[in-house]
Structure 1
Amino acid sequence: MSTKIAVLCSKAFKKRILSIAQNIDDIQLEFYLYNQPTDAPSMLKQIKPCDALLIGGTLPYLHAQSLLEKFPIPWNYIKQDETAISTTLLSLIANHAISLEKVSIDVMNPVFVDNVLADIEYSGPKPYVYPISIAEAPNDILQKHLKLWQTKNIDFVITSIHTVFDELQVLNIPAMRVLDATGSIIQCLEETKSQSLLTKSESVKAAVGLLDIPENNDFNSLILNHITAATHSTYKQITPLYYELYTTAGHLQNAFEKENMQKLLQQIEQPFKLAFGYGHSIFEAAQNAKYALEFAKPFEVYILDEHKNLLGPFPNSEAKISLKTNDPYILEMAKQTNLSPANISKIINFSRERQSSQFTSHNLSEYLQVSRRTTERIIKKLVDRGYAKAVGEEMPHQQGRPRTIYELNFATY
């Protein structure tokens, strides 16, 4: 299955990356185009289910940086560096008979230009170089170039900002954009694809839990059922008061990011100890769970990963993600589809937890813990309003009708 990458970039960069991406196997690009780099933070909320995110430039990345810390999928951005500057200057020399001293250029870091000129042992007059940052509006950079042009100090402009280039074109001022080298773009796409594949492999590694309930009473089965449902676990009873749970690291991580799991642990009044271990095998994960259980006190949960890093005690050691149902985006979807805000929130979280953007009614039914008929009615409402679409069919292993494969068609981040 191909890796689906959301690309957040300008219209001009879309053309560039499309011409290059055909050199990489098993990737699918879906574009989200901004008019200004400042649009990047708001556009993150428009991204539909995918495997990874690629941002086409340092400037939009800087604008979105604070939001990316909690972004639920792997992300990467195309960085401006000396290779981009040297490629651009080579293009200038090859295609335009202009001296460097008659050029103005805006870049993320002026040191890049200095390093390139030093590497080629250039000793002549240097170009005018302006640094750019998120603190300075693109129009301010444009005005600096225009001032040099109007005073006849320059004959050419090189810019890192696509909107500045467009304005210069309108004014008939000779200009070009900083060129990202083909090799750099290919490398960045390959890195983004690899990050996605690594995240998927990490999320499906084994996780084994050990649940120790000191006292035997009527609440034991209730505690067990709640915890196994929240972590998508199966279990084996070792003794009347001791259970072994089996799940994956991805399910476990998502469980501890949910507010309902946090509330569950806090509402259990009967003492219990719970520990999980990660591992590349069931045996390794079980051993790590045993080590983690030694640290747990009543009402505490610990996780020991395959690198022997101890996480916890939960639920109080880390901030949790709250699934709010007063979000106007969710409320509008609920109104359009006739589904409850709670169901919309669950469907969004279902998409975030899956390692594929595609799913069947069986997958969603298992997650929502409702009947297949109820799930099919939910999907039909989503499809009828354009919030989901059928993209193929899956043949069952045994005899039976093919299952329809769906994709959600709305932003889930």
Structure 2
Amino acid sequence: MSTKIAVICSKAFMKRITSIAQNIKNIQLEFYPYSHPEEAPILLKQIRPCDALLLGGTLPYLHAQSSLSEIPIPWNYIKQDETAISTTLLSVMSNHAISLSRISIDVMNPIFIENVLQDIEYSGPRPFIQQIAVTRPTQAILQHHIALWNAQSIDFVITSIHSVFDELQKHQIPAMRMIDATNSIVQYLEETRSQSLLSKSESVKAVVGILEMPENNSLDTYILSKITAATHSTYKQITANSFELYTTAGYLQNTLAKENLQSLMQQIEIPFKLAFGFGHSIPEASQNANNALSFAKPYEIFILDEHKNLLGPFPKSDIKLALKTDNPYVLQMAKLTSLSPLNISKIIDFSRERQSAQFTAYNLSEYLQVTRRTTERIIKKLVDNGYAKVVGEEMTHQQGRPRTIYELNFAIY
């Protein structure tokens, strides 16, 4: 099935990404082009139903960043890096034979240029570099390029902003746009598609809820109708005062994210219990829901996922149900280790909250609230793939096996 990706980008970049995407199977692009990157937040509100979102650059991403949390689909953006800069500089020097010291260039992060120049062991005069920032008007960047040209300090301009390129063309100033390497664009398109497929697979997982209410309660029907409406679920009566609810992980995630269920609980004065279980089948999800219910107290919601991770209690807990992630790094780890993105995110949180970089299986088991055996399986997958390493042992008692000490071996910040 084709993945429909909404793309917010400049009109010029739209042509380039279209030609590249023709060689990628099962991807359909729908464009929302802008004249200036500041328009990205407005275009964000115009996106029609699609599977994922891709922003064509760091600048439109920065302008739209505050609104992306409201987007219910996975999103990604094409980041400027050393590959784009080195490809562009190579093109200028080979096609125009211009010295680097006679070039004016605007970039998101000047350190990228320094890294490229160091890699090629360049020791001559640097080009004129401008840093792009959301707080700096595009017009100011344009005027600086023009001033350098009028002062005869430069012979060429490289710009990361397509609207600046168009204005330079009007002033007949030799210029070119920053070149995003074809392989990089292909990688971002495939990453975005993978994020969409992962999100869909997670969101359609079976979820069973168990609702228990006091006996002889006259509000059974009212409470049941409110909860099933909030979670988009159907139900089956199990006993006189308990019901089994059927929904999907996507519906439940949306309900909890919007705090609809928590708000509903505050309106109902009858002390009911509610728990949910995830699973790859209805029986598995039902068993997890019953196990989660054993932890629930009145006016609390617990969730037991298919990996036996207990989440909650909602709404008291600060834990948010994260069934999808937009972080390509986490997705890559999930793919290599066969661990869920949820588990990887929790391991990252575990490491961030610890005062020491070193930990034992017991420490991680306590944090994840899973069995020691499950934790050891998780750690083995991390170690086997180079994401964790053994750094020592500790003997807490005179008898018994020593505990293995580990450290995570990947970026967590």
User: TM-score range with shorter-chain normalisation?
Assistant: 0.7 to 0.9
Query: Which residue number corresponds to residue 353 of structure 1?
Result: none
Quickly say closer, same or farther: Cα 1:62–1:308, change in 2 above 3 A: farther
Paired residue type of 1:197: L
Query: Which residue number corresponds to residue 243 of structure 1?
Result: 243
Query: Which residue number corresponds to residue 212 of structure 1?
Result: 212
Correspondences of 1:48-63 after superposition (within 5 Å): 48-63=48-63
Query: Which residue number corresponds to residue 397 of structure 1?
Result: none
Query: Which residue number corresponds to residue 284 of structure 1?
Result: 284
CA contact (8 A) 2:275 2:290 kept: yes
Higher relative contact order (CA 8 A, sep 6+): 1
Query: Which residue number corresponds to residue 112 of structure 2?
Result: 112
Deviation, structure 1 residue 283 = 3.6
Distance (whole Å) between structure 2 residues aligned to residue 255 and residue 63 of structure 1? 28
Query: Which residue number corresponds to residue 96 of structure 2?
Result: 96
Deviation, structure 1 residue 174 = 0.4
Distance (whole Å) between structure 2 residues aligned to residue 190 and residue 226 of structure 1? 41
Quickly say closer, same or farther: Cα 1:157–1:258, change in 2 above 3 A: closer
Paired residue type of 2:193: K
Distance (whole Å) between structure 1 residues aligned to residue 158 and residue 58 of structure 2? 16
Quickly say closer, same or farther: Cα 1:264–1:91, change in 2 above 3 A: same
CA contact (8 A) 1:54 1:77 kept: yes
Query: Which residue number corresponds to residue 272 of structure 1?
Result: 272
Query: Which residue number corresponds to residue 167 of structure 2?
Result: 167
Deviation, structure 1 residue 70 = 2.5
Question: SS of the residue aligned with 1:277?
Answer: strand
CA contact (8 A) 2:312 2:319 kept: no
Paired residue type of 1:193: R
Deviation, structure 1 residue 290 = 2.7
Query: Which residue number corresponds to residue 191 of structure 1?
Result: 191
Quickly say closer, same or farther: Cα 1:259–1:118, change in 2 above 3 A: closer
Distance (whole Å) between structure 2 residues aligned to residue 42 and residue 228 of structure 1? 35
Query: Which residue number corresponds to residue 7 of structure 2?
Result: 7
TM-score, scaled relative to structure 1: 0.73
Deviation, structure 1 residue 43 = 1.6
Query: Which residue number corresponds to residue 83 of structure 1?
Result: 83
CA contact (8 A) 2:215 2:240 kept: no
CA contact (8 A) 2:311 2:319 kept: no
CA contact (8 A) 1:58 1:79 kept: yes
Counterpart check, 1:18 vs 2:21: no
Question: SS of the residue aligned with 1:104?
Answer: strand
Paired residue type of 2:170: V
Distance (whole Å) between structure 2 residues aligned to residue 259 and residue 221 of structure 1? 22
Query: Which residue number corresponds to residue 303 of structure 1?
Result: 303
Correspondences of 1:239-388 after superposition (within 5 Å): 239-257=239-257, 261-315=261-315
Distance (whole Å) between structure 1 residues aligned to residue 70 and residue 311 of structure 2? 18
Correspondences of 1:33-44 after superposition (within 5 Å): 33-44=33-44
Question: After superposition, what is the alpha-carbon deviation per residue over 1:20-62, rounded to whole angstroms, capped at 9, x for unaligned?
Answer: 1101111111111111111111221111111111100001101
Deviation, structure 1 residue 293 = 1.8
Distance (whole Å) between structure 2 residues aligned to residue 140 and residue 203 of structure 1? 45
Paired residue type of 2:69: E
Quickly say closer, same or farther: Cα 1:131–1:31, change in 2 above 3 A: same
Deviation, structure 1 residue 107 = 0.5
Quickly say closer, same or farther: Cα 1:292–1:319, change in 2 above 3 A: closer
Question: SS of the residue aligned with 1:208?
Answer: strand
CA contact (8 A) 2:4 2:52 kept: yes
Counterpart check, 1:72 vs 2:86: no
Question: SS of the residue aligned with 2:87?
Answer: helix
Quickly say closer, same or farther: Cα 1:268–1:167, change in 2 above 3 A: same
CA contact (8 A) 2:4 2:30 kept: yes
Distance (whole Å) between structure 2 residues aligned to residue 205 and residue 156 of structure 1? 55
Deviation, structure 1 residue 127 = 1.2
Distance (whole Å) between structure 2 residues aligned to residue 309 and residue 9 of structure 1? 40
Question: After superposition, what is the alpha-carbon deviation per residue over 1:212-258, rounded to whole angstroms, capped at 9, x for unaligned?
Answer: 11322332233223322332323333322222222110122233345
Distance (whole Å) between structure 2 residues aligned to residue 126 and residue 217 of structure 1? 79
Distance (whole Å) between structure 1 residues aligned to residue 21 and residue 290 of structure 2? 47
Question: SS of the residue aligned with 2:70?
Answer: coil
Moved more, 112-121 or 182-191: 112-121
Correspondences of 1:127-142 after superposition (within 5 Å): 127-142=127-142
Deviation, structure 1 residue 309 = 4.3
Question: SS of the residue aligned with 1:32?
Answer: strand
Deviation, structure 1 residue 148 = 1.4
Query: Which residue number corresponds to residue 155 of structure 2?
Result: 155
TM-score, scaled relative to structure 2: 0.73
Paired residue type of 1:252: L
Query: Which residue number corresponds to residue 382 of structure 2?
Result: none
Question: After superposition, what is the alpha-carbon deviation per residue over 1:157-193, rounded to whole angstroms, capped at 9, x for unaligned?
Answer: 0010111111110010000010000000010000111
Counterpart check, 1:121 vs 2:98: no
CA contact (8 A) 1:157 1:175 kept: yes
